[in-house]
């Protein structure tokens, strides 16, 4: 079939060029949004009298029929079509003749594609937000079960101070809540209707852009026609928000992988969310978490693709911009896939409390609390710090922990120590004494969970 733009040309495009140029293989997924946009455009063309009202109605019905036929599998995409926009318009013309040809009045594919991506991504952002909310809700539920599950908190991957598993999980919940904030923020700027920008210089037809914006539930219309067709900031912002979210999932995955190892053994993943080895019968591998960590690189790559593709483009539209779709679609598809696998993996994991408790008991993670004990008895912190350091060295020599070193040994180094010391350095005391707002005590984490649940409803 000759192209819709064949008028100026004396030859058909070379078939290789046609394949190279065509985007239908990856933009066909926007068919519904393309049709929604065209219906709004046709409605406005009819209302303003730019085209006959009857014809506007026929176009709308024709587009609705095309949508039905695509969704029921009656109409399949033609791989030779240049893109989804051309495909749908050609199909409409096939069905309606000259009336179909009137749809593209006062419109260009440049503003059409700018509109379609926004419509498409607006829905995707909603889906991603729901998936993040499911993940946060799961974290709140698991945390509630582990308010008193003591584990070592780390810095430099060295045992540092005691926390609870709930506190650790709720740290991720905070990151994911900010990810929702970033998505919403990006949505605010994406919520601007570009149709009517035309190819670049708007149009001489008396169009009503605000009406189209209203029909498609946009809060605003773009203010400058060149910008309206040239802007892909919203793809870059979304890719950046999604890459940040993946970075959080990747850190979490890294911990899942560490915790599943024999060296840590803090958790055991469910059989349904692990895989075996083809040669080593003892293996149970955290492949899901590793894949999430691996796919993070890919999404960061999508962001870099978009930034590099845009960075030297003169205004307004350039065909380079067709490359936006595979990158942003890949970023969005990947994050959806990762979130929907990650959440049930967490929900089904077994938490090995005793191992966490045992690791917490071994690393002198109550040393700060031992020093604080002396401070409470009147010693300056720096002296208390030094005395505790000496005690830790003694424990290491005698193969003891601060909890098992006898009181006499303490008193030899500093006579201020008394029997109440052991209560003060018990891990439960250390955690539950940390009642500062945002701290790991069971009471503080309960507040975190309650606040998080409230934030999810906002
Ligand atoms: N398939 C194109 C894209 O995705 C549509 C816009 C084409 N406009 C043009 N003048 N070639 O960017």
Mean pLDDT (whole number) for 253-282: 90
Task: Check if 180 has its Cβ closer than 6 Å to any atom of ligand 1.
Answer: no
Indicate which residue of 217, 219, 261, 277 is catalytic. 277
279 has a pLDDT exceeding 80: no
Is 168 noted as a catalytic residue in this protein?
no
More confident residue, 337 or 362: 337
Q: Report strand pairing: 267-268 vs 220-221.
A: unpaired
Check whether 4 has a pLDDT greater than 80.
no
User: Which candidate in 156, 240, 248, 278 is catalytic?
Assistant: 156
Query: Distance between CA 427 and CA 438 in Å, rounded?
Result: 18
Where do the H-state alpha helices sit in 72-164? 84-96, 98-101, 109-145
Residue 439 CA to residue 26 CA, distance in Å, equals 48
Whether residue 277 lies in the annotated active site: yes
Q: Which residues pair with 285 in a beta bridge?
A: 275
355 to each of 145, 151, 285, how far by Cα in Å?
16, 8, 19
Residue 12 DSSP symbol: P
Q: What is the pLDDT of residue 2?
A: 66
Give the residue carrying structure tokens 């991504």.
Answer: 121
- pLDDT digit string (tens) for 347-370? 999 999 999 999 999 889 999 999
Q: Tell me the pLDDT of the chain averaged across its residues.
A: 96
- For residue 240, the CA-to-ligand 1 centroid distance in Å is 24
Which pLDDT tens digit goes with each residue over 370-380? 999 999 999 99
- The three-state secondary structure class of 320 is helix
Report residue 1's pLDDT band, with 50, 70 and 90 as the boundaries.
low
- Measuring CA to CA, how many Å separate 154 from each of 86, 157, 305, 360, 361? 57, 5, 35, 10, 13
With a 6 Å cutoff on the Cβ, whether 23 touches ligand 1 is yes
> What does the pLDDT read at residue 283?
76
DSSP for 381-411, please give it: HHHHHHHHHHHHHHHHHHT--TTTS-HHHHH
Degrees (nearest 5) of the Cα angle 118, 328, 306? 105
Question: How many Å apart are CA 275 and CA 285, to the nearest integer?
Answer: 5
Q: What is the pLDDT of residue 189?
A: 97
- CA 110 / ligand 1 centre spacing (Å): 6
The residue-averaged pLDDT of 427-436 equals 92
Q: Are 26 and 329 in contact (CB under 8 A)?
A: yes
Residues 6+ apart with CB under 8 A from 245: 128, 132, 176, 179, 182, 183, 335
> What pLDDT does residue 282 have?
79
Cβ(129)–Cβ(180) below 8 Å? yes
For residue 14, name the pLDDT band (cuts at 50, 70, 90): confident
- Residue 230 clears pLDDT 80, i.e. is over it: yes
User: 321 in ligand 1 pocket by Cβ < 6 Å?
Assistant: yes
370 within ligand 1 shell (Cβ under 6 A):
no
pLDDT reading at 321 higher than 80: yes
Spacing of C-alpha 433 from chain mean position: 35
Task: Categorize the per-residue pLDDT at 7 as very low, low, confident or very high, splitting at 50, 70 and 90.
Answer: confident
Q: pTM of the prediction?
A: 0.94
Question: What spacing in Å lies between the alpha carbon of 225 and ligand 1's midpoint?
Answer: 16
- Residue pair 106/196 in contact by the 8 Å Cβ criterion: yes
Range in 45-49, 320-324, 365-369, 383-387 with the lowest mean pLDDT: 365-369
Half-sphere exposure of 446 (CA within 13 A, CB side): 6
Per residue in 92-127, pLDDT (tens digit) is 999 999 999 999 999 999 999 999 999 999 999 999
């Amino acid at each position: 079939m000759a192209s819709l733009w064949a008028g100026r040309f004396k030859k058909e495009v070379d078939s290789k060029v046609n394949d190279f140029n065509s985007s239908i293989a990856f933009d066909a997924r926007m068919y519904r949004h393309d049709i929604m946009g065209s219906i709004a455009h046709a409605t406005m063309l009819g209302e303003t009298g730019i085209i006959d009202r009857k014809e506007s109605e026929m176009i709308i019905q024709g587009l609705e029929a095309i949508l039905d036929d695509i969704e029921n599998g009656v109409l399949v995409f033609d791989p030779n079509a240049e893109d989804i926009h051309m495909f749908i318009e050609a199909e409409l013309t096939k069905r309606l003749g000259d009336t179909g040809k009137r749809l593209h009045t006062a419109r260009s594919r440049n503003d059409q594609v700018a509109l379609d991506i926004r419509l498409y991504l607006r829905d995707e952002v909603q889906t991603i937000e729901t998936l993040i909310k499911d993940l946060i809700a799961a974290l709140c539920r698991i945390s509630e079960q582990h308010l008193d599950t003591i584990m070592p908190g780390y810095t430099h991957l060295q045992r540092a101070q005691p926390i609870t598993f709930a506190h650790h999980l709720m740290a991720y919940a905070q990151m994911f809540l900010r990810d929702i904030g970033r998505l919403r923020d990006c949505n605010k700027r994406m919520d601007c209707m570009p149709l009517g920008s035309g190819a670049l210089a708007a149009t001489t037809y008396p169009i009503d852009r605000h009406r189209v914006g209203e029909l498609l539930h946009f809060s605003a219309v773009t203010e400058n026609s060149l910008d309206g067709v040239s802007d892909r900031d919203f793809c870059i912002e979304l890719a950046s928000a999604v890459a940040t979210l993946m970075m959080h999932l990747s850190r979490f995955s890294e911990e899942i992988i560490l915790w599943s190892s024999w060296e840590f053994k803090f958790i055991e993943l469910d059989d349904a969310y692990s895989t075996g080895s083809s040669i080593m019968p003892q293996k149970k591998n955290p492949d899901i978490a590793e894949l999430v960590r691996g796919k993070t690189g890919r999404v960061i790559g999508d962001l870099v693709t978009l930034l590099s593709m845009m960075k030297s483009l003169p205004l307004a539209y350039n065909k380079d911009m067709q490359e936006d779709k595979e990158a942003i679609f890949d970023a969005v598809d990947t994050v959806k896939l990762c979130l929907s696998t990650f959440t049930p993996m967490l929900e089904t994991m077994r938490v090995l409390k005793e191992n966490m408790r045992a690791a917490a008991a071994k690393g002198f993670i109550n040393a700060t609390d031992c020093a604080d004990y002396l401070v409470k008895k009147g010693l300056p912190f720096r002296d208390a710090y030094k005395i505790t350091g000496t005690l830790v060295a003694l424990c290491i020599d005698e193969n003891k922990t601060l909890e098992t070193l006898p009181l006499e040994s303490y008193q030899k180094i500093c006579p201020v120590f008394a029997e109440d010391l052991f209560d003060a350095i018990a891990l439960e005391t250390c955690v539950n004494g940390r009642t500062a707002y945002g701290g790991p005590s069971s009471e503080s984490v309960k507040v975190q969970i309650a606040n998080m649940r409230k934030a999810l409803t906002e």
